[in-house]
Amino acid sequence: KLTADAAAARLDGVQASIDAAALADADLVIEAVFEDLDVKRAVFAQAAQAARPDAILATNTSYLDPEAIFAGVPGPERCIGLHFFSPAQVMRLLEIVPIKATAPAVLATGFALARAMNKVPVRAGVCDGFIGNRILKVVRAQAERLLLAGASPTKVDAAMRAFGLPMGPFEAQDLGGLDIAAFQRKAARERGETPFAPVAERLCAIKRFGQKTGGGWYGYAPGDRKPRASVEVEHIIAAAAKEAGSKFHPLDEGTIQRAIVLPMVNEGAKILAERVALRASDVDLVKILGYGFPRW
């Protein structure tokens, strides 16, 4: 989309370094390492030393607690969550997550940054998954309950595409990687919670993480992203259903859609009641721009 000259000019504005001292002149530092609390805290311990005292420090975490990430960082008023949705060069949504100490000017800068990048900012409160991934967690759990009740990944995905989503929940997991949600479940268990993912846990145990490993909920031929039903996954689902003592039910398209969408609505209502989202339209913006929920 760019001319060669414009592309060269953009690249000239990018510098790479493995030395934290390069942060000395930065106005804003955005951390984007993988979702491990200890690793993120180590990054900010280093960044706080190298950056100016007035530089804004931002985490791109998608579900970890920013309060815990920034604990002990000098000048917590300059700290904030800026959750860019993946792939960041395409997705317009930016969840802006202030911590208790975040200064109003820092929060305003997050919104100004979004506008400068042609992104849509939505303020979110601190909780597991903020607005978007908190609702996504419900979608994943409901989708797996449908599997235990007799549906297949293909049938669930087809029903949700018919509802208006660009791809179903299992196709989306294969695209993003099942290991991301597995990290989230691990963190939840460490908090004493019991996340529901009887089939996904079995897939992750045999390293079926999605397209990047050649198989997740579906199988993939080398160099081909087209999902294909997997006999191995069918056996894993059947074993999980048997272990859970599940009973199969008649599951038509409408039943599948309601089983996923209505709990999303309930979770959205809780998010509003807890003021994790400040207004209903913020929940709508997150779902439409971050997850392809149909605008109608």
Q: Which amino acid, 175?
A: L
Residue 83 annotated in active site: yes
CA distance 98 to 100: 7
Query: Distance of alpha carbon 241 from its chain centroid, rounded?
Result: 27
Residue located via tokens 């939840």: 188
CB 35 within 8 A of CB 190: no
Q: How many CA atoms lie within 13 A of 124 on its CB side?
A: 34
Strands (E), the chain: 28-31, 56-59, 79-84, 93-98, 120-123
Options 31, 60, 62, 230, the catalytic residue:
62
Residue 133 annotated in active site: yes
Q: Which amino acid, 198?
A: P
In degrees rounded to 5, what are phi and psi of residue 207? 60, 35
Cα dihedral 34, 65, 179, 186 sign: positive
Options 95, 144, 171, 267, the catalytic residue:
95
CA distance 274 to 260: 22
Residue 95 annotated in active site: yes
Q: For residue 102, what are the contacts with CB-CB under 8 A and spacing of at least 6?
A: 76, 77, 78, 79, 80
Options 31, 133, 144, 230, the catalytic residue:
133
Residue 77 annotated in active site: no
Catalytic residues: 62, 83, 95, 133
